[in-house]
Amino acid sequence: MDFNYKRPGDEIPFSVASLDTSFLSFPRVRFIKQETPLEHLGRLKSGANLWIKRDDLSPIGLGGNKVRKLEFILAEAIIMGATDIVSAGAEQSNHLRITAACCAKLGLRCHLFFASVTGEATSGNQDLAKLFGAQIHIIKGTLDDAVIAAEKFVADLSEKDHKTSVSPYFIPPGGSIALGCLAYALCYSEITHQLNKFALKSNFVYLAASTMGTLSGLICGASLMLSRKESLGISLSSLLKIRAVNVDSQQSDPQSRILSLCKETLSLLNKSDNLNTEIFELASDKEVVGSYGVPTKVSDFALRYAAETYGLLLDRTYTAKAFAQILVDDVNMKFKASDNIIFLHTGGIGANFSVLDNCSIRSIANDH
């Protein structure tokens, strides 16, 4: 992927090297061969331009933000000689679906632990993960219970390692570790690149946040650019501002989680002192997000609106809530006509397959 370009009207290039050449030292499996599209959708009621960053179109496993993270994470796993990938996630985890697809492509055995309230398989992502050849484990309980079960499984495989050729590698939920966050530090550069090609100013990016890895990566990308603001000729006011919608509003201390991930990620690049948290805001409007994994009236309206207005598919757990926040902020007059609002579509439509099975989408569509 080539980020090299020049901003309209000046001679200062932005590039991967503008962030930090240390990125180039990290091994990476290139699932994504080129930039995902940045498309103009239209104007909001405020007059602000609405754009979409199509990470849902990344070319494996129905796409989504986890593909970028797994490029770095699975590269490390392969270098370490891993034969089996183990991970855990929530009942409708997009991360687990995409992990299964990426492992299939790389010829790695995959073992996935889904948390479940009922202890039964109920998610479309679970069915898709099976289709990709993963071994599925349904754990009755919370995400923490699924992680404990996955870690025990890894320990058991490791004990057998001296007798067999099995070598397990564990990926925490969401791939939200420093190595995965690197991917979205680079994605921040990619979006900035695309915006500058359109000569756009006053830009804001909205995304859904849960395990906070994607958000933390974007913050790191912004921090690295700000650390070189003098040489790059940029300011805080001219950078892409980040507004994340915390779809897991019951988290006890998401800010600490974000801070920790950012510090760990920048530490990989020997840039620990460059963290700047002024560039982002974390929203958790209960009317929009409700409880984790449970749709709200506002998010279901946003799902319908995106489909009927743009032919755009969202999922009820993550992206519909982020898109809903854009609509709510627009109604509340938070935007100016000169603003450009970028919706980072992080994927997740695989979860809709189970929703279609129980006709919930049909009832949503008819409820207006």
HEC letters along the chain: CCCCEECCCCCCEECHHHHCHHHHHCCCCCCCCCCCCEEEEEECCCCCEEEEEEHHHCCCCCCCCHHHHHHHHHHHHHHCCCCEEEEEECCCCHHHHHHHHHHHHHCCEEEEEEEECCCCCCCHHHHHHHHCCCEEEEEECCHHHHHHHHHHHHHHHHHHCCCCCCCEEEECHHHCCHHHHHHHHHHHHHHHHHHHHCCCCCEEEEEEECCCHHHHHHHHHHHHHHCCHHHHCCCHHHCCEEEEEECCCCCCCHHHHHHHHHHHHHHHCCCHHHCCHHHEEEECCHHHHCCCCCCCHHHHHHHHHHHHHHCCCCCCCCHHHHHHHHHHHHHCCCCCCCCEEEEEECCCHHHHHHHHHCCHHHHHHHCC
Task: Convert the pLDDT of each residue in 161-207 to its tens digit.
Answer: 565 678 999 999 999 999 999 999 999 999 988 888 888 888 999 99
Task: Convert the pLDDT of each residue in 199-231 to its tens digit.
Answer: 888 899 999 999 999 999 999 999 998 887 776
Model confidence at 298, pLDDT cuts 50, 70, 90, reads very high
Flag whether pLDDT at 359 surpasses 50: no
pLDDT at 9: 41
Flag whether pLDDT at 353 surpasses 80: no
Classified by CATH at the fold level, domain 5-64+177-366 comes out as: Rossmann fold (3.40.50)
Flag whether pLDDT at 17 surpasses 70: no
Flag whether pLDDT at 54 surpasses 50: yes
pLDDT at 250: 80
Flag whether pLDDT at 152 surpasses 50: yes
Q: Which CATH number fits domain 66-174: 3.30.70.100, 3.40.50.720, 3.40.50.1100, 3.40.710.10?
A: 3.40.50.1100
Domain(s) of CATH 3.40.50.1100: residues in the chain: 5-64+177-366, 66-174
Model confidence at 22, pLDDT cuts 50, 70, 90, reads confident
Mean pLDDT of the chain: 88
- pTM equals 0.90
Flag whether pLDDT at 357 surpasses 50: no
Task: Convert the pLDDT of each residue in 60-80 to its tens digit.
Answer: 999 999 999 999 999 999 999
Task: Convert the pLDDT of each residue in 84-108 to its tens digit.
Answer: 999 999 988 999 999 999 999 999 9
pLDDT at 232: 67
